[in-house]
A and B are shown apart, each in its own frame.
Chain A
Amino acid sequence: MNLTLKIWRQASANARGEMVTYKVSDISPDMSFLEMLDVLNEQLNARGEEPIAFDSDCREGICGMCGLMISGKAHGPEVTTTCQLHMRSFSDGDEITVEPWRADAFPVIKDLVVDRGAFDRIIAAGGFISANTGAAPEAHSVPVPKPKADRAFMAAACIGCGACVAACPNASGMLFMGAKITHLGELPQGQPERDARVVSMVEQHDAEGFGGCTNIGECSAACPKEIPMDVINQLNRDLRHALTRHGD
C-alpha cells in the first residue's frame, strides 16, 4: 500500500518543531508500524536526510519504550502498543499523522522521543515494598487469596509507556499511579507502607506537572494493557484513608 505520513520533526528539546510530509510506497500489511518507519528511515538515510528519531526496544509490546500519537490516538487505532500495531490496520492511500506524546511532564527530546523520567521519580517516591535482599520470609508463609493475587497481577501489567498521560486532556498520570497503588495495595506484603506510599506518590505526581483526573476515561481506553479506571478509584480511596488517618 501507499501512504502519506505527516510526522513531527524537532531537532532538539529547545528547537521549534513542525509537521513534515513524507510518502512511502509498497508497504506490506504484515509490517508493524515501526517497521514501516524503519523503511522510511532507510529512504531518508539514502538521500542524505537525517532519519526520524523514535523510541522502541523490545518490539513485542512489553517494555513500554515505544509510544506514538498516531492520527490523534495514543498507540494508534488498535488497543495495543505502537510496536504491535500492524499496517493491516490501515488502508492504501491513508494519510497518517505521527506525533510524540504531548504532556508538560514528558518534554520532547527530539522528533518523536520524549523524556518520561517523571514516571521513574513517581515510583522512587514510594512505588515499592521495602524488602531488603535476604530478609524475606519463606514464600508460602503468607497465602494470598487468588482473587487478590489476580487483581494485583492485572494492575501490575502496566508497562509504563505513558499512553494514559498522552491520551488524557489533563495529561494526568493517575491511571499509571493507580495501577501501582492497586498492585501493591492488594497484596498483604504491601500493607505496612500503604498509607505513606499513596501520599508520597501523589505529591510527586503533582510536582512533576501532571494534571488531575476528571474521570474522562481516555486513559483506560488508550491503555495497551487495558488497565481499568477502577484503579483510580482505589487510588482516591487509599489517599482519602491515608490523609484521614494522618490527620488523626
Chain B
Amino acid sequence: MTDTNATTSGGAATQAAPNAGIVHGLYTEGEPLHDTKAPAGPIQDKWSTRKFESGLVNPANRRKLSVIIVGTGLAGGAAAATLGEAGYQVKSFCYQDSPRRAHSIAAQGGINAAKNYKEDGDSTFRLFYDTVKGGDYRSRETNVYRLAEVSTNIIDQCVAQGVPFAREYGGLLDNRSFGGVQVSRTFYARGQTGQQLLIGAYQALERQVAAGTVEMFSRHEMLEVIVADGKARGIIARDLVTGEVETHLADAVVLASGGYGNVFYLSTNAMGSNVTATWRAHRKGAYFANPCYTQIHPTCIPVSGDHQSKLTLMSESLRNDGRIWVPKKAEDCEKDPREIPEEDRDYYLERIYPSFGNLVPRDIASRQAKNVCDEGRGVGPKVGDFRRGVYLDFTDALKRMSAEAVAEKYGNLLDMYQRITGENPYEVPMRIYPAVHYTMGGLWVDYDLQSTIPGLFVAGEANFSDHGANRLGASALMQGLADGYFVLPHTIRDYLAKGPFEKLPDSHPDVVEAKASVDARVQKLLSINGDRSVDSFHKELGNIMWEYCGMERSEEGLLKAIDLIRGLRDEFWRNVKVLGAADTLNQSLEKAGRVADFLELGELMCIDALHRRESCGGHFRAESQTEDGEALRHDDEFAYVAAWEFGGDGSPAVLHKEDLVYEAIEMKQRSYK
C-alpha cells in the first residue's frame, strides 16, 4: 500500500465558494439523518450482535407473513429464494419474461470474497479496507464491514448450488485479480460469472416456486408503492401482457430493482433497466442517496454511430493481461497500431501509476482515458472533434501465454468483441472507451437495509450503501448476493416479527389512490399524441447527462443541464407520441413511463452533483482537483451521505446529511501511485 497521509481538508484555491443562491433556488436543507440500527461495539462484532438482537418469527407463523420482492437479479432472486425457504409467503416480480434474465446475468468478471485461498495476505479486514478506500471514503463503514464478513459464505453457498466456478487441476477454486487491489480474491466462471451466479439464484428461486412459497409474476412492472398508515404495504404493478393494473398487498416490500445507468440512454445496462421502482418509492417518501455517484467503466467497446442502442462492456479482468496504451504522438493515431514501434507508445496507466498500473480503480482508468483522448491522442473513428478510443493490447499476453491459454481465460470476451466490431483481437489491439456502467447511488437505507419508509427494504444496486463514490470490480455480485442471501433475511425478520400487520382492504384510501394514480398516468401518456418518439426524448436526455453530468462535472455545466432537463421534461409531457392501447402488450408505453421517471431523476442527479463541490471517486468536479489532475476530496465539508427527500412536484428537494464516521479505519487521500 502506498497511501499518503496527505491532508484532505483541501486547498481553498481550488474550492468553489459556497453559493447561497444555488441552495435556495434548487434545494433546501433539512434535519441530519442517522443510522440507528448498527449496534455499538467493535466493528467485527456488530453483525453478530444485530443478528442476535433481531426478533424471531416462529416457523408456523412465517406462512402468515407476506413479502413482495421487486426484481429477480442477484439481490432480489437470492432474497426471494431465501425468504421462501424460511417459509414466508413471497411474491416475486420482474419485467422480463423470466426471472433468469435480470441484468445481473451480464456481469462478466467475477465475485470477490475474502477466502484468502491464495495465502497472499487477504482477510475480511483487507477486503473491507479495500472497498472503503476504493469507494473514496464515501460509504458507510458498518455496512461495508458486514459485506466483507459475509463474502466467504457466498462462495460456499454458490458452490453448494452447483455454480461452476473456474477450478485448478487439483480441483480447488481458482482466483484472479481485479482493479484497485493487490491480492487475488476474485472467483470467476470464465467471463460469465454473473450468469452462473444468477442461474444459481434463479434455480433456488424456481425450487421455491415449485414448493409453493414463492409466487412468480414475470412480465410485470411495478409502477407504484403502496404506503398506508406510514408503512409500505404493497405495490401497484402492470401486467405487461394484458395491460391490467394490479394491486398486490403484503406485510413488507423489498426493492431489488437495480441501478439507473440508463438515464444516460447509452450504458452497459439492459434495454429495460430503469429507475421506476425506486423513483416511485422516492416520491412516496424514501430518500434517494448520492444520486450523482455513477460509475463510468473504462473498458467498453466504443460507440460506432447514432444508431447505437447500448454499449457493451469488456470485463475489467482483461486488464490483468491486456495493456492499455495510446500513441505518444497525435499524428500516429490513424496508423495501424501494429506498425507503431514500442518507443512511440504511451502505456499511460503504467507510467502514471507504477504500483497499480493497468489495475487502477475504474474511476481513475476512465478519467485518464478521457484525458488522453482530450489531448488528441485517442484512436479509432472520430466522434465529433475527437477520436474516442484507447488500445487494449493482448500482444504481450499472447506471446507470454499462447493463444490457447488466452482463449481459455478470456475467449468469450474476445469473441464478443470480434462479433460487435468485426475486428480480430488476437491480431489487432482492441479499442475501448469508458461507458456508464453502474450507479453507486440509490435509495438510502439503514444498517438493516430499510429505507426511510418503514417496511420498505432496498437491496443490491438499488440501494446506496456499500460502494461509496466508486465501486471496485467484482464487488457488485458480492453485494447483491450478500444482501439477498445473508443480510436481508435477518433484518426483514426483525421487522416482520412485529407483524402480521392489520389486513389492508383494497378499498383503503391509500390503496385506491395508488392505483388511480397509475391508471391516470397510463392514460395521460397515451393521450398526449404529440410528434416525438419516446426514444428521441431518451436520447436527448442521455446526451445532456453525458455531456454535463458524466466523467467531468462543473458548476456552469450542471446549471445548464438542469435548465435543459426541465425544458425537455416539459416538452415530453406535451409532445410525446405513444401509440397503441393500454390493455395490451405495449412496449412504447413501457418505455414512456421509464423515461418520464428518468427525466425527474436526471435533474436530481445534477442537483446532487452541483451541491457536492468536491471530487470523489466517480464524481469529478473540474473545480476540485490536485495539481496533477487527481480527484481532490474535501472531507471537512463533504464527508457525508447526501440523502434527498422528495419535495413535491415543482418544489425543491430537501437535503438530509448523514455524517460518515470512520472508527475502524482512517480516512486518507487515495493514492494508487
Give the B-binding residues of A (Cβ under 8 A). Answer: 11-12, 28, 30-32, 34-36, 38-39, 42, 45-46, 48-51, 53, 55-65, 78, 80, 84, 86, 88, 109-110, 113, 115-117, 119-120, 123-125, 127-140, 142-146, 149, 152-153, 156-157, 159-160, 183-184, 187, 189-190
Contact = CB atoms under 8 A, between A and B. Distances in A.
A35 B306 CA distance: 10
A45 B577 contact: yes
Interface stretch (B155-163, B360-368, B507-515): B155-163
Nearest to A65: B101
Contacts of A36: 307
B106 A63 contact: yes
A234 to B, nearest CB: 15
A53 B590 CA distance: 12
22 contacts: A12-B585, A32-B420, A34-B309, A39-B307, A42-B535, A45-B588, A50-B579, A56-B271, A59-B270, A59-B271, A59-B309, A80-B419, A86-B419, A116-B98, A120-B100, A120-B206, A133-B489, A139-B155, A140-B172, A160-B100, A189-B161, A190-B162
A48 B580 CA distance: 10
A128 B161 contact: yes
Contacts of B206: 120, 123-124, 127-128
B169 A146 contact: yes
A49 B313 CA distance: 34
A35 B307 contact: yes
B168 interface: yes
5 closest Cβ pairs, A-B complex: A143-B171, A136-B160, A128-B203, A131-B160, A153-B164
Of A31, A32, A46, A123, chain B has the most CB atoms within 10 Å of the CB of A123
Interface stretch (B22-30, B188-196, B494-502): B188-196
Given A135-B160, A137-B160, A124 B210 contact: yes
Nearest to B167: A149
A60 B533 contact: no
Contact of A130 (B196, B207, B489): B207
Contacts of A139: 115, 155-156, 158-159, 173
A86 B587 contact: no
Contact of A125 (B169, B196, B210, B313): B210
Contacts of B304: 28, 30
A142 B210 CA distance: 28
Contact of A62 (B106, B171, B272, B419): B106
Nearest to A11: B584
Chain A: interface secondary structure?
loop
Nearest to A153: B164
Interface in B166-192: 166-173, 189-190, 192
A138 B152 CA distance: 9
Nearest to B531: A46
B114 interface: no
Nearest to A84: B419
B195 A62 contact: yes
A97 to B, nearest CB: 21
B157 A152 contact: no
Nearest to B79: A133
A106 to B, nearest CB: 10
A55 B271 CA distance: 10
Contacts of A124: 206-207, 209-210
B82 interface: yes
B471 to A, nearest CB: 19
B192 A62 contact: yes
Contacts of B96: 57, 63, 65
B167 A35 contact: no
B161 A86 contact: no
Contact of A187 (B78, B164, B168, B585): B164
Contacts of A127: 203, 206
B3 interface: no
Nearest to A131: B160
A171 to B, nearest CB: 18
Contact of A109 (B105, B204, B241, B486): B241
Contacts of A34: 309
A58 B105 contact: yes
A64 B101 contact: yes
Nearest to B189: A153
B623 interface: no
B119 to A, nearest CB: 13
A63 B101 contact: yes
B199 interface: yes
Contacts of B295: none
Of A30, A58, A59, A142, chain B has the most CB atoms within 10 Å of the CB of A58
Contacts of B272: 57
B57 to A, nearest CB: 16
A30 B190 CA distance: 27
A183 B189 CA distance: 13
Given A62-B105, A109-B241, A128-B206, A120 B98 contact: yes
Interface in B410-462: 416, 419-420, 422
Nearest to B269: A58
Nearest to B159: A139
B115 A55 contact: no
A134 B307 CA distance: 47
A143 B172 contact: yes
B395 interface: no
B218 interface: yes
Contact of A152 (B164, B416, B579): B164
B81 interface: yes
Interface string B134-165: 00000000000000000001011111111011
A38 B307 contact: yes
Of B158, B168, B272, chain A has the most CB atoms within 10 Å of the CB of B272
A133 B422 CA distance: 44
B196 A156 contact: yes
Interface string B210-248: 100000101000000000000000000000010000000
Contacts of B585: 12, 53, 109-110, 113
B160 A146 contact: no
Given A45-B579, A45-B588, A131-B157, A156 B164 contact: yes
B153 to A, nearest CB: 7
Interface in B554-600: 577, 579-580, 584-585, 587-588
Nearest to B529: A48
A144 B173 CA distance: 9
B667 to A, nearest CB: 34
B312 A60 contact: yes
A183 B157 contact: no
B103 interface: yes
A133 B100 contact: no
Of B204, B307, B485, chain A has the most CB atoms within 10 Å of the CB of B307
A221 B303 CA distance: 31
Given A57-B103, A136-B153, A189 B159 contact: yes
Given A62-B106, A133-B82, A146-B171, A53 B207 contact: no
Contacts of A189: 159-162
B117 interface: yes
Given A120-B216, A134-B157, 19 more contacts: A28-B307, A30-B305, A38-B307, A38-B535, A42-B536, A49-B579, A51-B587, A56-B271, A57-B103, A58-B106, A58-B270, A61-B419, A65-B97, A120-B98, A123-B100, A128-B203, A152-B162, A153-B166, A190-B162
B151 to A, nearest CB: 12
Nearest to A111: B585
Contacts of A58: 101, 103, 105-106, 270-271
A14 B164 CA distance: 42
B85 interface: yes
Contacts of A113: 585
A187 B172 CA distance: 13
Of B100, B164, B577, chain A has the most CB atoms within 10 Å of the CB of B164
Of B161, B165, B168, B313, chain A has the most CB atoms within 10 Å of the CB of B161
Contact of B192 (A65, A137, A157): A157
Contact of B85 (A46, A88, A115, A133): A133
